Amino acid sequence: MLPTPLREAPRLAETLGVRGRMLLKRDDLTGFAVAGNKARQLEMLIAAARESRASVLVTGGTPGSNFCQAAAAAAAWAGLRCVLVYAGSPSRISHPNLVAATHWGAEIRWTHDPDRAFVDVAIERAAAELTLDGHVPYTVPRGGATPLGATGFHLAALELAAQLDGPAVVVVATGSGGTQAGLVSGAVALGRDLLIRGASVSRPPDEAARRVLELAGGCARLMGTDIPHAADVVVDDARGPGHARASEEGERAARLALRASGTVLDPVYTAKALGALPRILGERRHDPDLTTVFWHTGGLLDAVAGWETR
């Protein structure tokens, strides 16, 4: 259900010490399954899978992956088989995202290797096996981070601009980089009235920025718009103790978001990004003329997950 709502959040701004106007872009409310912002990139990826006459969608991540869960739902909706390759081995307690993905009909495979980076290799291997068995796989790397997936967020930046009446700083959680990449590509196409600031929750910021720049370039090429420069990609550190581990800053922000705006944030992505928002704005926090948009990417099932299940 697009456009997703853009809501005023004056009490949240006040509790975070942000003087200007603050808005929440509620991409947790895209309306497709429990996919949050992932619905935007999956719309593009599923269309490409269909176009290539694929019979099976193959992707992967960690058992807590919101993207995998959303991909399973999208594949079910599109009538495609879905194979998910997860890092590590099955654990006693399943993460709600894994439970949901299984429930949507995805077939689960494990790498038996805790290294998350190995998942992308395992996805290609699974696809090769499926091909040998006569299936037509469509592979998607972790987080759906491809230039094509990012085009969904390029369009989302245009959607936001149409809802706003001027420039804004946009703060968004960055993991595999596709979301920020698409928003940056869209912001550059619009003439840079939107300043996109990524809060990296899993990778060192310079590594995340390199990935985002590359994906944003690929996305802009697909859209036929201006190629973003390195200066368009700004990533701050919101990792706290590391990927999928709650940060104190994030936990505090999640409590504030619930009390001040009735918004549920997950500890892995959105809470960390909102927690980092005052730091990201720096002195501009005190500027009454600044409009800040916090991009709520979703992650609802992560919000209710126990840490031991990741």
Ligand X SMILES: Cc1ncc(COP(=O)(O)O)c(C=O)c1O
Judged by the rule CB under 6 A, the positions of this chain that interact with ligand X are: 36, 66-67, 143, 145, 173-180, 266, 269-270, 297-299
CB of 150 to ligand X, least distance (A): 8
Q: Which single residue is written with the structure tokens 């980076």?
A: 117
Cβ(195)–Cβ(170) under 8 Å?
A: yes
Min dist. Cβ of residue 136 to ligand X (A): 26
For the chain, the helix, strand and coil percentages under 3-state DSSP, each to the nearest 5 = 50, 15, 35
SS (H, E, C) 219-234: HHHHHCCCCCCHHHCE
CA atoms within 13 A on the CB side of 100: 24
| Contact between 154 and 223 (Cβ < 8 Å) | yes
Type of residue numbered 290: L
Cβ closer to ligand X: 146 or 290? Answer: 146
Nearer to ligand X, 169 or 290 (CB): 169
Q: Do 228 and 220 form a contact (C-beta atoms < 8 A)? A: yes
CA atoms within 13 A on the CB side of 260: 22
Residue nearest to ligand X (CB): 299
**Of 49, 108, 100, which Cα lies nearest the Cα of 75?**
49
Bridge partners of residue 24, in order along the sequence: 7, 294
CB contact at 8 A, 71 and 287: no
Nearer to ligand X, 137 or 175 (CB): 175
CB 63 within 8 A of CB 310: yes
Nearest distance, CB of residue 250 and ligand X, angstroms:
12
> Please, which residue, 37 or 111, has the CB nearer to ligand X?
37
> Measured between alpha carbons, how far is 240 from 246 in angstroms, rounded to an integer?
7
Determine if residue 33 is left, alpha or beta; phi over 0 gives left, psi from -120 to 50 gives alpha, anything else beta.
Answer: left
Nearer to ligand X by Cβ, of 122 and 235: the residue is 235
Closest distance of CB 193 from ligand X, Å: 22
CB of 283 to ligand X, least distance (A): 26
Closest CB to ligand X among 111 and 179? 179
Q: Which residue number, 130 or 299, has a Cβ lying nearer to ligand X?
A: 299
User: In the complex, what is the shortest distance from the CB of residue 118 to ligand X, in angstroms, rounded to a whole number?
Assistant: 18
Q: Tokens 């593009």 map to which residue?
A: 44
Q: Least distance (Å) from ligand X to the CB of residue 173? A: 4
Q: In whole angstroms, how close is the CB of 182 to ligand X at the nearest point?
A: 8
Q: Of the two residues 228 and 298, which places its CB atom closer to ligand X in the complex?
A: 298
